[in-house]
Structure 1
Amino acid sequence: MIFSSPRSRRLLLATLLTGSGLCAASVNTASLISSAASVSCIGWKVKGICYWLLCTPFGCSVKTSVKVEHFIPEAVVSAYSGPGDNPWTEMSAVSGAAGSGESSVIGSLSGFSAGGGQQVMKAPGLRKQNLHFHYADAYGHPATTLIGGQIAGYSCKSAATPFVPYFVSSLDALVWRSGLPEGLYPEALIPGQRELGSQAGANMWGNIYPRSGFVTQEDAYKSAAVVAQRVADVITRTGQLHVYQPLVGQQSPGYWPPAPVKENTGIQNHKWQRLSPTLSTTCAVFPDTGATVSQDGNYAWALWQPYSCCKRRGQTFLSSTDFS
């Protein structure tokens, strides 16, 4: 198509500028892979020593190997406003297709309308409250196998598979929108149980339970972060009442996968790397600081988890010793 008139050229320029603005707030697979090359996020270190029993026709002996620990980018967790708005560009079409199916299923089964966004509520004498609803997805990080398992004995194998959908909220629509049955759990009913941040620390961001898409929070970034934390809480456990695929490693001799994600436990349990609307080269845990509020309400983070492993030096694993 040739744009010859001044009006057509102005229209093309406006379209390109608009498109570039949208791309600036999104991420693609190439940028995700390059962002994973973060020394601070990987946090590689020698953790201890492993002991192996090696037996040959000439006798048995104890061999040792170095025990290492490092973080691996496990999943890209997104929280966004509408179907197809996943800021990971290659996965937005997948999320959009699932969202289209959700609209018809939800409408026919429950009479609810599918959609996202926020609602501002005001009451006399009270601060305004924003009720946010976020769609959320978790796909295997494209660099998870590039960071994990490349050097035997010095990098650990990841339990995640690139691009695999571990959670798509549109497929979990009934639970994700109703909050049931988790809204009746003690974690949801007892104040102080399973909360991101704390009242005492003046950084209370929201409750983990019920693990649904609704969050009451004035700050849009904080509400999206609460949803991301809920998704990580679900996918790193088995037997949860959600439609999802567990992202859980199986411990074996000389291999220690991470524990389930738990809020307020520091960087020893997990880390978050901001991907959208701004890309960060460092990792932190929620509640964090210095975040940028997205103009379109779409956010994405990389979930990093710690693995420990050591190189096999014999037929039988005896034990391991961790350095203090």
Structure 2
Amino acid sequence: MTLIPPSTRRVLLISLLTGSGLCLANINTASLVTSAASVSCISWKVKGICYWLLCTPFGCSVKTSVKVEHFIPEAVVSAYSGPGENPWTEMSTVSTAAGGAESSIAGALAGVSTGGGQQEMKAPGLRKQNLHFHYADAYGHPAASLMGGQIDGYSCKSAATPFTPYFISSLDALVWRSGLPESLYPEALVPGQRELGSQVGADMWGNIYPRSGFVTQQDSYKSAAVVAQRVADVITRQGQLHVYQPLVGQPTPGYWPPDPVRENTGTQNHKWQRLAPALSTTCAVFPDTNGPIAQDGNYAWALWQPYSCCKRRGQTFLYSTDFS
């Protein structure tokens, strides 16, 4: 596992604060915070009961507390066409600052340029297909702390830190552009494994592996969604062969962070809220209904994940029970 070096993170954050934001975008930090007030995305509910052992000089007793579950906006995941075109206005400057690192990395790859966008391909007897390449970033959602841990026992703390760069494809250019070594993994070679959508259901969006920026897909929205799913797949796991910062919570007594993101599992461990090109007030999972096509090729989603927790009522956590 390779982490984004602290020195690089500092440079990126300095660029965020001092940059001029030359890239046009249609979402900003204020709109992201506002968009997080979505009841359907939060999905707060009482999940069960926790049992604690409380001991005092006068003896021990068992105390209970309510176990709650709700989703928290963890990260803003963007998939965009050109360097520095992240649709999150404040972060577009950070993405531009990281572009210099990509130029030096990609320069070491024979015949690999640093461009993005799509290439149309036609083959005899086959329908037209498009090969898309997306840059991608994942930053901590600005509302992660606002939505999590504010009410003890009734809201759970998020593992995400607002504005933290969890993934910047320009810094991961070697793997993001070559697809190696993941193109040799069984998940990439065996049909039917780790695919977003279903071939049987005629709703196949793309393969998760190799987790790179290239997607063969006619629909620009779907190709960007596949890239966003790949990024979430990387950052919610430890020890992946990418340059990134893991967004992984550590379970403690009375606190259950989410499992890693997994495609085609419904809303068990994640949801997506579309942010750009058109803001949605609801959440869904891929593959969902066809979204709006961005004229500039730039997309962004908020990644929501579920947390469970309960208020500490004693020195020792005994167990918890969930309502059926």
Matches within 5 A, 1:135-146: 135-146=135-146
- TM-score under structure 2 normalisation? 0.92
Moved over 4 A (4+): 22-25
State, as a whole percentage, how many aligned pairs show the same letter. 85
User: Paired residue for 2:88?
Assistant: 88
Give the residue type in structure 1 aligned to 2:312.
R
Q: CA deviation at 1:108?
A: 4.0
Q: CA deviation at 1:100?
A: 2.8
Post-superposition CA distance 1:220-279 (Å, at most 9, x none): 000000000000000000000000000000000000000000000001210000000000
Asked if the contact 1:24–1:277 (Cα under 8 Å) also holds between the matched residues in 2, the reply is no
- TM-score under structure 1 normalisation? 0.92
Q: CA deviation at 1:105?
A: 2.8
User: Paired residue for 1:100?
Assistant: 100
Local SS of the residue matching 1:204: strand
| CA distance, structure 1, for counterparts of residue 39 and residue 315 of structure 2 | 33
Give the residue type in structure 1 aligned to 2:237.
R
Q: CA deviation at 1:110?
A: 3.8
Q: CA deviation at 1:111?
A: 4.4
- Identify which range, 57-66 or 200-209, moves more after superposition: 200-209
User: Paired residue for 1:130?
Assistant: 130
Q: CA deviation at 1:26?
A: 1.7
Change (3 A) 1:24 1:137: closer
Q: What is the CA RMSD across the aligned residues, in angstroms?
A: 1.3
Asked if the contact 1:55–1:315 (Cα under 8 Å) also holds between the matched residues in 2, the reply is yes
Asked if the contact 2:25–2:86 (Cα under 8 Å) also holds between the matched residues in 1, the reply is no
| CA distance, structure 2, for counterparts of residue 309 and residue 241 of structure 1 | 31
| CA distance, structure 2, for counterparts of residue 181 and residue 136 of structure 1 | 19
| CA distance, structure 1, for counterparts of residue 62 and residue 141 of structure 2 | 38
Local SS of the residue matching 1:166: strand
| CA distance, structure 2, for counterparts of residue 208 and residue 195 of structure 1 | 6
User: Paired residue for 2:206?
Assistant: 206
Q: CA deviation at 1:113?
A: 1.1
Corresponding residue pairs, total: 303
Is 1:263 aligned with 2:263?
A: yes
Asked if the contact 2:272–2:301 (Cα under 8 Å) also holds between the matched residues in 1, the reply is yes
Local SS of the residue matching 1:197: strand
User: Paired residue for 1:26?
Assistant: 26
Post-superposition CA distance 1:107-154 (Å, at most 9, x none): 145442101000000011100110000000000000000000000000
**Structure 1: any 5+ residue segments left out of the alignment?**
1-21
| CA distance, structure 2, for counterparts of residue 264 and residue 108 of structure 1 | 36
| CA distance, structure 2, for counterparts of residue 293 and residue 25 of structure 1 | 15
| CA distance, structure 2, for counterparts of residue 258 and residue 108 of structure 1 | 38
Asked if the contact 1:211–1:231 (Cα under 8 Å) also holds between the matched residues in 2, the reply is yes
Post-superposition CA distance 1:22-45 (Å, at most 9, x none): 999620000000000000000000
Q: CA deviation at 1:57?
A: 0.1
